[in-house]
Chain A
Amino acid sequence: MGDRAAWTAGTACKSEHTDDRMRVAERALAELARRGASGEVHVASVSGLTAEFSAGKLRNCSADGRVHLSVRASRSGRIGFYSTTDASNPGEAVERALETAECGEELEIAFPSRGIPGGDMPPAAFDPEVADMAADALVRQVGALTAEVEAATPGSQVRSAGRRETEDTVLVNTAGGVVRDRHTALTLFVELSRFAAEDVLLLFQEAGAARLHDPAVEGFPARLGDLYGAAATQAGLAPGKRRVVLAPEAAYVLLAPMFQGVNGLNAVRGTSPLIGKVGSQVLDSRFTLTDDPWLDWAIGSALWDEEGTPTRRKHVFRGGVFKGFLHDLRSAAMGRTESTGNGRRVRGQAPQIGPYSLVIEPGDLPMADLLAEADGGLYVASVIGGGPGGLAGAFSHPVGVGYLVKDGRLAGRVKDVAIAGNVYDLGRHGLVGLEDRTHTVGSMYGAALKVPHILLDGVDVAGK
């Protein structure tokens, strides 16, 4: 955590790197004002190192550095957007943004002035040990992880990658808003495979954190070793309505359709099935989902979003009750409401609605009890495909790696099965229980997931 005296509203973090970006941003902002327009300028500078291993050997090590200058301009009630990786001419970027605004979207966006942060302290998001990590140190770390996974999964073929990244961003707007941010990220990825005649096992594990030593990026080898070992034998499962355990890595089966439902743009457009249900019991009362931008050391945690709106920790579902849609400035303007601080950016693109860390509250079932409850059911470690019907809550996925649950353990790999259902039906009537702890896994829409194992009843399982 930082020292409160070290920051003030609108200056979350300051470094020599942000000064360069600030000069570019201020030049563009001055040009916007000179041209009688309002708007915002976002400058992001990213530098990173990546190391990739395959078959126990370092394949490549790469350094990257890039800058994105993005201008969103508003003039005569119309919005235009331009982005470029050539930050040497901010005036031209403004010119091109205004050109698109001439015939752009009709919308009055209220760009935020210097906001008062919702939190007391900025979340810890910058680790100098990550920022300064040299290539040989990164190579050693990824190499050690690879060796550990290989030892835990004898006979497997392992590919792995590690990346450390530092991002400096500056956001300024014509309402006086100024946000400077600097954060780090260390992400690790492991893919292991086992090929034998017509039997292929493919397991993935991915995690990231803003700091070098974090529980989120530790524990890979043991988890992969467990799943790998349990796949040594095969088991069968008859099709029908079954109990299904969703592993934390498979939680997006539920979260992806839910995010479509809670996305404020879908509310404005009239296509969300949650319209008219704010404050209503939508899911089982044990289900609480939080969008948390303030988790220390989670990738992307911030006191302001990437449009300059103060972020806040908010329940999306609390005790199964739907608490509200997520908005950025644009959807808020369209829906005549306020941004929830969910304006996120994919570099080079206009802001869009995105979550931060998505946290499902744990339940009261120790893992052993949860597996006992799932006896005869399916443990889903991964699924394939996005599946159709996301807006209405329907999901349908072939299972990538699944296991039969028998006698409180994973009793062999089940192949060639698919699961289907509706997240709102199952979430309301099919929740058997939640594990009593959470796991930080991968990401979805750029958000870290911190979720428990979830046991559902009545999931449609199709198979041969």
Chain B
Amino acid sequence: MAAKVITDTEDAKMNMTPMIDMTFLLVVFFMLTIDLSQKEFFPVDLPFATTGVEDKEEDDEVRRFVINLTGDGTVHFKSYEFNLASEDPGEQDDAIQALQDALRQVHSERGEILLREKDGASKVPVMIHADWGAKWKYVQWIMQACAHPDIKIYKLQFAVKKPPTEKGS
């Protein structure tokens, strides 16, 4: 029996449609799940607390400021970085002053009049997103910077984690 040789070769083409469909679905999925607000959080080991309330989305107008404090005493706020852990008290004081300046500037950029209560206090809450091992005095200095008479941010939030031993975690 003679073998049949196919001589008439056609261009083999891959059907790209299902792949493009899947790719678009992936793009849509990532677009919907991405949470750019999480970019504000610096990776730290948060303290644990059972009494923390669930962290939900907030009103855009009074969107909080997030101040990150790492275990080594570095403060990250927006694109700024300040070192509170210097050996020199003068440098530590400069860092606190610089944080105050940054808070004042960012607050005024967001609309000074709109974000103030009648008594001048800011409506903007500050979340202190601090490592559990950061020195407590650094947290207090951040609080003092927020409460400065030019800034008047009194609403605070401490970022905490749900203890892993709790039911449901």
Question: Are A and B part of the same complex?
Answer: no
Taking Cβ atoms with an 8 Å cutoff, the residues of A that contact B are: none
Taking Cβ atoms with an 8 Å cutoff, the residues of B that contact A are: none
